[in-house]
Protein backbone atom coordinates (compact mmCIF):
# COMPACT_ATOMS: atom_id res chain seq x y z
CA UNK A 1 0.00 0.00 0.00
CA UNK A 2 1.35 3.46 -0.91
CA UNK A 3 1.91 6.16 1.69
CA UNK A 4 -0.29 9.26 1.28
CA UNK A 5 2.82 11.36 0.70
CA UNK A 6 3.89 9.30 -2.31
CA UNK A 7 1.69 11.01 -4.90
CA UNK A 8 2.76 14.62 -4.18
CA UNK A 9 6.41 13.55 -4.22
CA UNK A 10 5.86 11.63 -7.45
CA UNK A 11 4.34 14.76 -8.97
CA UNK A 12 7.45 16.70 -7.88
CA UNK A 13 9.62 14.15 -9.70
CA UNK A 14 7.51 14.38 -12.84
CA UNK A 15 7.40 18.20 -12.74
CA UNK A 16 11.17 18.38 -12.28
CA UNK A 17 11.64 16.31 -15.43
CA UNK A 18 9.12 18.48 -17.25
CA UNK A 19 10.85 21.71 -16.22
CA UNK A 20 14.49 20.62 -16.45
CA UNK A 21 14.28 18.17 -19.32
CA UNK A 22 15.45 14.53 -19.40
CA UNK A 23 17.23 13.73 -16.15
CA UNK A 24 19.08 10.87 -14.49
CA UNK A 25 17.88 9.41 -11.21
CA UNK A 26 20.99 10.78 -9.51
CA UNK A 27 20.32 14.31 -10.81
CA UNK A 28 16.70 14.13 -9.65
CA UNK A 29 17.74 12.94 -6.20
CA UNK A 30 20.14 15.86 -5.80
CA UNK A 31 17.68 18.39 -7.21
CA UNK A 32 14.76 17.30 -5.04
CA UNK A 33 16.74 16.38 -1.91
CA UNK A 34 15.54 12.78 -2.03
CA UNK A 35 17.40 9.52 -1.65
CA UNK A 36 18.34 7.72 -4.89
CA UNK A 37 16.25 4.74 -3.74
CA UNK A 38 13.16 6.93 -3.28
CA UNK A 39 13.62 8.56 -6.68
CA UNK A 40 13.98 5.20 -8.40
CA UNK A 41 10.81 3.94 -6.69
CA UNK A 42 8.87 6.94 -7.97
CA UNK A 43 10.41 6.62 -11.42
CA UNK A 44 9.36 2.97 -11.58
CA UNK A 45 5.75 4.01 -10.90
CA UNK A 46 5.90 6.85 -13.43
CA UNK A 47 7.32 4.55 -16.08
CA UNK A 48 4.61 1.96 -15.34
CA UNK A 49 2.00 4.73 -15.73
CA UNK A 50 3.69 5.79 -18.99
CA UNK A 51 4.12 9.30 -17.58
CA UNK A 52 7.88 9.15 -18.17
CA UNK A 53 10.12 6.95 -20.29
CA UNK A 54 13.69 5.76 -19.81
CA UNK A 55 16.27 6.54 -22.47
CA UNK A 56 19.92 5.70 -22.96
CA UNK A 57 21.91 8.79 -21.97
CA UNK A 58 24.95 7.82 -24.00
CA UNK A 59 24.84 9.08 -27.61
CA UNK A 60 24.77 6.36 -30.23
CA UNK A 61 28.20 5.33 -31.42
CA UNK A 62 30.08 6.40 -28.28
CA UNK A 63 31.83 4.00 -25.98
CA UNK A 64 32.39 4.11 -22.28
CA UNK A 65 33.10 1.86 -19.35
CA UNK A 66 30.20 0.36 -17.45
CA UNK A 67 26.51 0.49 -18.10
CA UNK A 68 25.28 3.78 -19.57
CA UNK A 69 23.20 5.92 -17.23
CA UNK A 70 19.52 6.15 -18.04
CA UNK A 71 17.76 9.47 -18.38
CA UNK A 72 14.05 9.82 -17.81
CA UNK A 73 11.96 12.03 -20.09
CA UNK A 74 8.36 13.19 -19.84
CA UNK A 75 5.89 11.55 -22.24
CA UNK A 76 2.74 12.92 -23.81
CA UNK A 77 0.76 11.10 -21.14
CA UNK A 78 2.88 12.81 -18.51
CA UNK A 79 2.31 16.21 -20.09
CA UNK A 80 -1.42 15.66 -19.93
CA UNK A 81 -1.23 15.87 -16.15
CA UNK A 82 -0.15 19.49 -16.24
CA UNK A 83 -2.42 22.43 -16.99
CA UNK A 84 -4.67 20.71 -19.55
CA UNK A 85 -7.81 20.02 -17.54
CA UNK A 86 -9.77 22.65 -19.47
CA UNK A 87 -8.96 21.39 -22.96
CA UNK A 88 -12.45 20.10 -23.73
CA UNK A 89 -14.10 23.37 -22.74
CA UNK A 90 -11.56 25.43 -24.69
CA UNK A 91 -12.00 23.26 -27.78
CA UNK A 92 -15.77 23.53 -27.61
CA UNK A 93 -15.55 27.30 -27.29
CA UNK A 94 -13.17 27.65 -30.24
CA UNK A 95 -15.22 25.31 -32.39
CA UNK A 96 -18.27 27.44 -31.67
CA UNK A 97 -16.27 30.59 -32.46
CA UNK A 98 -15.09 29.08 -35.75
CA UNK A 99 -18.63 28.07 -36.71
CA UNK A 100 -20.17 31.45 -35.88
CA UNK A 101 -17.36 33.87 -36.66
CA UNK A 102 -15.16 31.99 -39.10
CA UNK A 103 -11.38 31.88 -39.34
CA UNK A 104 -11.00 35.63 -38.80
CA UNK A 105 -12.64 35.33 -35.39
CA UNK A 106 -10.36 32.45 -34.39
CA UNK A 107 -7.29 34.41 -35.50
CA UNK A 108 -8.44 37.47 -33.56
CA UNK A 109 -8.84 35.30 -30.46
CA UNK A 110 -5.39 33.76 -30.97
CA UNK A 111 -3.83 37.22 -31.29
CA UNK A 112 -5.50 38.34 -28.06
CA UNK A 113 -4.44 35.12 -26.28
CA UNK A 114 -0.80 35.79 -27.19
CA UNK A 115 -0.92 39.49 -26.30
CA UNK A 116 0.92 38.70 -23.05
CA UNK A 117 4.14 38.31 -25.06
CA UNK A 118 4.20 41.94 -26.20
CA UNK A 119 2.74 43.21 -22.94
CA UNK A 120 5.44 41.66 -20.75
CA UNK A 121 8.53 41.53 -22.94
CA UNK A 122 9.46 45.21 -22.65
CA UNK A 123 8.93 45.09 -18.88
CA UNK A 124 11.30 42.10 -18.47
CA UNK A 125 13.95 43.76 -20.66
CA UNK A 126 13.70 46.97 -18.64
CA UNK A 127 13.89 45.11 -15.32
CA UNK A 128 16.78 42.83 -16.34
CA UNK A 129 18.82 44.54 -19.09
CA UNK A 130 21.57 41.92 -18.88
CA UNK A 131 19.26 39.32 -20.42
CA UNK A 132 19.42 38.61 -24.13
CA UNK A 133 16.11 39.06 -25.98
CA UNK A 134 15.69 35.27 -26.11
CA UNK A 135 16.31 34.99 -22.36
CA UNK A 136 13.75 37.73 -21.71
CA UNK A 137 11.24 35.84 -23.84
CA UNK A 138 11.98 32.66 -21.87
CA UNK A 139 11.04 34.47 -18.67
CA UNK A 140 7.82 35.76 -20.23
CA UNK A 141 6.80 32.30 -21.39
CA UNK A 142 7.80 30.54 -18.18
CA UNK A 143 5.59 32.90 -16.20
CA UNK A 144 2.70 31.69 -18.39
CA UNK A 145 3.43 28.00 -17.76
CA UNK A 146 5.48 27.21 -20.86
CA UNK A 147 8.67 26.19 -18.96
CA UNK A 148 11.01 27.94 -21.40
CA UNK A 149 14.78 28.13 -21.69
CA UNK A 150 17.42 29.20 -24.20
CA UNK A 151 20.12 27.34 -26.10
CA UNK A 152 23.00 28.94 -27.94
CA UNK A 153 23.20 28.24 -31.68
CA UNK A 154 26.81 28.84 -32.82
CA UNK A 155 27.06 31.18 -35.82
CA UNK A 156 23.26 31.51 -35.92
CA UNK A 157 21.91 33.02 -32.72
CA UNK A 158 19.75 31.47 -30.03
CA UNK A 159 16.98 28.91 -29.76
CA UNK A 160 13.96 29.44 -27.55
CA UNK A 161 12.90 26.06 -26.12
CA UNK A 162 9.52 25.51 -24.46
CA UNK A 163 9.43 22.21 -22.57
CA UNK A 164 5.70 22.51 -21.96
CA UNK A 165 2.75 24.12 -23.72
CA UNK A 166 -0.43 24.59 -21.66
CA UNK A 167 -2.51 24.94 -24.85
CA UNK A 168 -0.89 22.20 -26.95
CA UNK A 169 -4.00 20.02 -27.32
CA UNK A 170 -6.09 23.01 -28.38
CA UNK A 171 -3.34 24.24 -30.73
CA UNK A 172 -3.26 20.81 -32.39
CA UNK A 173 -6.75 21.51 -33.77
CA UNK A 174 -6.33 25.28 -33.99
CA UNK A 175 -2.79 26.04 -35.26
CA UNK A 176 -3.72 29.73 -35.30
CA UNK A 177 -2.51 29.76 -31.67
CA UNK A 178 1.00 28.69 -32.69
CA UNK A 179 0.96 31.09 -35.63
CA UNK A 180 -0.06 34.00 -33.40
CA UNK A 181 2.66 33.08 -30.90
CA UNK A 182 5.36 33.03 -33.57
CA UNK A 183 4.14 36.31 -35.03
CA UNK A 184 4.20 37.99 -31.60
CA UNK A 185 7.76 36.78 -30.99
CA UNK A 186 8.78 38.20 -34.36
CA UNK A 187 7.16 41.55 -33.58
CA UNK A 188 8.80 42.07 -30.20
CA UNK A 189 12.21 41.21 -31.67
CA UNK A 190 11.69 43.19 -34.85
CA UNK A 191 12.84 40.37 -37.12
CA UNK A 192 11.81 37.08 -38.68
CA UNK A 193 12.06 34.00 -36.47
CA UNK A 194 11.74 30.37 -37.50
CA UNK A 195 9.55 27.89 -35.65
CA UNK A 196 11.32 24.54 -35.88
CA UNK A 197 9.10 22.24 -33.82
CA UNK A 198 5.93 22.32 -31.73
CA UNK A 199 4.50 20.11 -29.02
CA UNK A 200 1.09 20.60 -30.62
CA UNK A 201 2.29 18.68 -33.68
CA UNK A 202 3.87 15.82 -31.76
CA UNK A 203 7.37 17.12 -31.09
CA UNK A 204 8.86 16.77 -27.63
CA UNK A 205 9.50 20.49 -27.25
CA UNK A 206 8.56 23.76 -28.98
CA UNK A 207 11.66 25.34 -30.50
CA UNK A 208 12.03 28.71 -32.21
CA UNK A 209 15.24 29.81 -33.91
CA UNK A 210 16.08 33.43 -33.09
CA UNK A 211 18.86 34.74 -35.36
CA UNK A 212 21.54 37.06 -34.06
CA UNK A 213 19.99 40.39 -33.10
CA UNK A 214 21.14 43.99 -33.08
CA UNK A 215 21.92 45.77 -29.82
CA UNK A 216 19.42 45.36 -27.00
CA UNK A 217 18.69 49.11 -27.08
CA UNK A 218 17.36 48.79 -30.63
CA UNK A 219 15.32 45.73 -29.75
CA UNK A 220 13.70 47.49 -26.80
CA UNK A 221 12.66 50.50 -28.86
Digit-coded pLDDT (tens) for 85-114: 567 888 999 999 999 999 999 999 999 999
Residue 213 has pLDDT above 60, yes or no: no
DSSP 203: -
| N-to-C CA span, the chain | 60
What's this model's pTM, rounded to 2 decimal places? Answer: 0.65
pLDDT in tens, 163-192: 888 888 899 999 999 999 999 999 999 999
What stretch of H or E contains 152?
A: strand 148-153
Helices (H), the chain: 6-20, 25-32, 36-48, 76-79, 87-113, 115-127, 133-143, 168-173, 176-189, 216-220
Domains of the chain: 6-79 (1.10.10.10), 87-220 (no CATH)
pLDDT of residue 158: 92
Residue 2 has pLDDT above 90, yes or no: no
Q: How far apart are CA 194 and CA 21, in angstroms?
A: 22
133-143 and 115-127 helices, crossing angle to 10°: 120
Q: How far apart are CA 137 and CA 125, in angstroms?
A: 9
Q: State how far Cα 30 lies from the chain centre.
A: 23
CB 151 within 8 A of CB 158: yes
Amino acid sequence: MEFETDQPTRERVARSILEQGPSTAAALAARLDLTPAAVRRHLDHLVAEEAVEARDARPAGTRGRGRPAKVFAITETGRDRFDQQYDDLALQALRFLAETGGDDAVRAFADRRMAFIEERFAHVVAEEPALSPAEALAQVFTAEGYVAGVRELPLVGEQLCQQHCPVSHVAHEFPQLCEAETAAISRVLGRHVQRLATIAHGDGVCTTCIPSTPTREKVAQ
